[in-house]
Each structure stands twice: as structure tokens, then as C-alpha cells.
């Protein structure tokens, strides 16, 4: 897992609250074995829903290591909304296409740009159900 202090801190806080921890805590060992998770969101003119989608990701019990939004040359206010959120959320990254290329192109670009081991694709107007990322992570743990 890449060294991301804000993610490390969130996991460590959860770990300490839910698992008995002593001076020889296995936290760092467990964290190093966890696959990193990224969320890819293609966006085209979803200013009315993109903030809710991103907020649903940020309210998960397990946070992703990165959220990559690929904007497909939107003409609405969605880019401004994403930029505003990204100034407050260090795991959120915006990539913009100069011209509209379609959802498949955006998903492929997001996959190439992501740095995570596991990728979750989400539409810009979808809301994550509670524990979605945690459940995905558990499915890939050995």
C-alpha cells in the first residue's frame, strides 16, 4: 500500500477502537498486507449528483486510497464541484478530457491513471451503499 498518512491514520484509529491493541500491535503488518482500493468515476454533466456520489464514498466504513474522477468535457458545473471537493479531500483527483470521448474511454483512462491494486467503477450518479468498499475488500482477502 502506498504511504498515505491520512489513510493510515483512519485505519489505525479504527483498528485501535475495534481490536485489542498492545505495545506490540500487528497494525502495521496487517495494513501492509491490505490491497489498496481505488474508485474510478467517469463524469459527464452530472453536476446535480456528483457531490452526493463522492460523499457516499467518503462516508464508507473503509475509505478508498484514491478516488479518480475522469471528466468527459462537461459543460455544466460538475468540474467546479469536483475541484471544490478535491481541495478538501486529498484522495480525490480530477482528470479532464479536452473533448467528449465516451464512458468506456474514461473508464480505461481512469484505470491507467489509478495507482491502486483493486479498482471499483462507479457512475457519477450512483450512491454507494454502506460497507460497499469494506465488502469488496473482504472479497479479495485471502
Contacts of 92 (CB under 8 A, 6+ apart): 54, 66, 67, 69, 82, 85, 86
- Candidates 38, 6, 9; CA nearest to 137 is 38
pLDDT digits (tens, 9 = 90+) for 114-138: 999 889 999 999 999 999 998 888 8
pLDDT digits (tens, 9 = 90+) for 4-56: 444 555 555 555 554 544 555 555 555 556 788 999 999 999 999 999 999 99
**Residue found under cell 482477502:** 141
What's the pTM value of the predicted model, to 2 decimals?
0.77
Amino acid at each position: 500500500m502506498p504511504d498515505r498518512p491520512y489513510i493510515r491514520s483512519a485505519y489505525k484509529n479504527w483498528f485501535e477502537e475495534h481490536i485489542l491493541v498492545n505495545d506490540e500491535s500487528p497494525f502495521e503488518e496487517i495494513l501492509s498486507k491490505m490491497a489498496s482500493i481505488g474508485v474510478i468515476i467517469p463524469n459527464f454533466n452530472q453536476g446535480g449528483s456528483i457531490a452526493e456520489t463522492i460523499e457516499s464514498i467518503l462516508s464508507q466504513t473503509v475509505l478508498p486510497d484514491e478516488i479518480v474522477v475522469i471528466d468527459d468535457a462537461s459543460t455544466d458545473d460538475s468540474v467546479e464541484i469536483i475541484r471544490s471537493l478535491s481541495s478538501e479531500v486529498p484522495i480525490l483527483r480530477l482528470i479532464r478530457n479536452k473533448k467528449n470521448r465516451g464512458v468506456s474511454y474514461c473508464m480505461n483512462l481512469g484505470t491507467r491513471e489509478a495507482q491502486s491494486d483493486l479498482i471499483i467503477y462507479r457512475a457519477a450518479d450512483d450512491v454507494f451503499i454502506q460497507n460497499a468498499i469494506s465488502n469488496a475488500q473482504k472479497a479479495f482477502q485471502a
